[in-house]
Amino acid sequence: MSQASNGASWARSLLRRYRIEDGTGFRLKDHDPTHLLERMGHADADQILADGVARLAELQTSLYAQNQWSLLLILQGMDSAGKDSTIKHVMSGVNPQGVQVTSFKQPGPDELAHDFLWRVHRAVPARGQIGIFNRSHYEEVLICRVHPEVLKHQGLPDEVTRHKFWRHRLEDIAAFERYLAHQGVIILKVFLNLSKEEQKRRFLSRLDTPRKHWKFSAHDLAERDYWDDYQNVYERAIAATAAPHAPWYVVPADHKPLAHVIVIEALIRALERLDLHIPELPPEEKQLLAKARHELENE
């Protein structure tokens, strides 16, 4: 077995450690953002990732051709956790026609006039497609919970927000994901688990690099003051919505290459479980292909 194959097997063996299917007793503090930081070098990670990208491309072709299942990857994390770079590196080899990336920003007037899952459901990938949510419906139990004043813009009745509001939202998210799973949507949720120290380093890097200035804002720094609050609401969200059909992967994100490897291995494993294959043509269509070949060869 090659070194890359050994590395991929090692990375896949880690998935069980990072995968959360049952939130009972889940504590975010039990998951170290620096875990295995020194275990894998960039060169090893790059080779494993390259092999994984090639394998993912093969599986995507079968997913698209079979046209029965769809895959939804949900990426969450603190500012600078690496959501954009994860999308860039993990999906670098797939066919763009079969991938849809949705970045959920602050909702506009039309979105605020509907329930909080309305815009999310519209972005769920069609059969045969891979969908990626860069942030997602979870912002409604993260940002909104840390900054409850945001709810005032949603026009909700006082009666709705007064009693067990956050519990109900988490239950609704869990029910929504269960519904999607029943429709053939494979759901993988990734929390890029970044340390506060590494976020500081990345912020400083952006400030020191002119071409990265556009990625930094005063809002990012202001949100850093709520670090502990966000850790708390992330812990609650993961604990309340982790399920076998919609697992969370709490991925150590201080080492970006390692995080990319873990994410792509999770995607590959999920697709391989589906026993995807290129549909075989019926006999009459095979005959038409044979006829077409004969005509082309004898032009």
Cα Rg for the chain, rounded, in angstroms? 21
Q: How confident is the model at residue 44 (pLDDT cuts 50, 70, 90)?
A: confident
CA distance 284 to 23: 51
Model pLDDT for residues 81-105, shown as the tens digit of each residue: 999 999 999 999 888 889 999 999 9
Predicted TM-score of the model (pTM): 0.91
Q: What is the pLDDT of residues 185-236, one digit of tens each?
A: 999 999 999 999 999 999 999 998 888 888 778 888 899 999 999 999 999 9
The whole-number average pLDDT for the span 44-60 is: 90
Among 41-50, 194-203, 254-263, where is mean pLDDT lowest?
A: 41-50
Q: 256: left (phi > 0), else alpha (psi -120 to 50), else beta?
A: alpha
Checking if the pLDDT of 1 tops 60, the result is no
Using CA atoms, how far apart are residues 208 and 219, in angstroms rounded to an integer?
A: 18
108-138 confidence digits (pLDDT tens): 999 999 999 999 999 999 999 999 999 999 9
CATH of domain 3-297: 3.40.50.300
Per-residue pLDDT tens over the stretch 137-171: 999 999 999 999 999 899 999 899 988 999 999 99
